[in-house]
Amino acid sequence: MTRKTAVVTGASSGIGAAVARQLADAGFQVFIGARRRERLRALADEIGAVALPLDVSDAASVAAFAARVPALNVLVNNAGGALGLEPLAELDEAKWLAMYQSNVLGLARMSKALLPQLRASGAGHVVNIGSVAGLETYVGGAGYTACKHAVRAISETMRLEWLGEPIRVTEVDPGLVETEFSLVRFAGDAGRAAAVYAGLQPLTADDVADAIVWAATRPAHVNIDQIVLKPTAQARVDKIHRL
Ligand code: NAP
């Protein structure tokens, strides 16, 4: 029997690396992409995946990546993140554009580029990593929440446009997950990043990966539309109980 195949974008850290590991454990042949090649190679060696350089904000990089992928069962559009927490009055267009490039256009580019392979497998599945930031907003979060609201819109549109085809679409919306997300958001300020997770038990990357792999391993006629998962100590995106 041929192995099922999966692509995970942004697999060099956090949720992406955890999903790649768990999909490999579940028997998938995994293709992993990100910009930091050393990390990617180390993970590929560990789990027997195929590591390919990928910058989802670059159309040529996406095309080169897609050309290496065979018939595909699962595409996990995970690459992305937040840059900064400035209010609108201090709008930084470069950060907004970079967030839009990775979280929104990157997700759309990858999905378009790999659609032929998803069709060719006869049982395709696109898993889009959104966020509770796609369901709510918060002060200083307009740029990032706008991107994740867009992920919601695109996920729904995919389901409409591919209706009648054997392609499932799942949106996964996590709350606080302790990864490098906040370190990237705050440009390497480790103290500020640690404060985001202080006094509560956040989700781990493995918690989110577990939900993704569960959705991906349901029978082909079962489409899990959306999974929202948050730490027990988080009621809303900005309503958190800290000890
Ligand atoms: P992370 O540890 O910072 O990982 C982000 C990953 O995205 C890295 O592997 C990074 O790899 C990759 N990436 C970023 N821009 C990319 C690009 N242009 N091309 C290719 N890869 C790119 O953060 P994370 O928490 O795992 O984030 C993963 C996803 O979950 C993101 O979409 C994020 O918005 C979402 N999310 C996170 C949380 C949270 O609290 N952590 C909550 C909700 C949703 P390279 O830098 O090596 O390219």
Kindly state the average pLDDT of the residues 205-211: 99
Question: Is 176 a pocket residue for ligand 1 (Cβ < 6 Å)?
Answer: yes
Residue 15: predicted pLDDT: 99
Residue 2: predicted pLDDT: 84
Domain limits, the chain: 5-240
Residue nearest to atom 48 of ligand 1 (CA): 35
- Helix, strand and coil content of the chain, in percent to the nearest 5, comes to 45, 20, 35
Kindly state the tokens that stand for 30. Answer: 């995994």
Question: Is 62 a pocket residue for ligand 1 (Cβ < 6 Å)?
Answer: no
Based on the residue annotation, tell me whether 144 is a catalytic residue of this protein: yes
One of 3.40.50.720, 3.30.360.10, 3.30.390.10, 3.40.50.2000 is the CATH number of 5-240, namely 3.40.50.720
Kindly state the average pLDDT of the residues 184-208: 98
Q: Which residue has the tokens 């850290």?
A: 13
Residue 242: predicted pLDDT: 97
Amino acid in position 114: L
How many whole angstroms from 20 Cα to the centroid of ligand 1? 13
Residue 1: predicted pLDDT: 63
Residue 177: predicted pLDDT: 98
pLDDT digits (tens, 9 = 90+) for 10-36: 999 999 999 999 999 999 999 999 999
Name the pTM for this structure.
0.99
> What is the CA angle 109-114-119, rounded to 5?
135
Kindly state the average pLDDT of the residues 109-135: 98
pLDDT of 165 over the 70 cut = yes
How many whole angstroms from 181 Cα to the centroid of ligand 1? 6
Residue 42: predicted pLDDT: 98
> What does DSSP assign to residue 2?
P
How many whole angstroms from 184 Cα to the centroid of ligand 1? 9
Question: Is 128 a pocket residue for ligand 1 (Cβ < 6 Å)?
Answer: no
Cα distances (Å, whole numbers) of residue 243 to 159, 167, 176, 192: 41, 44, 16, 18
Question: Is 43 a pocket residue for ligand 1 (Cβ < 6 Å)?
Answer: no
Kindly state the average pLDDT of the residues 72-100: 98
Kindly state the tokens that stand for 60. Answer: 């040529």
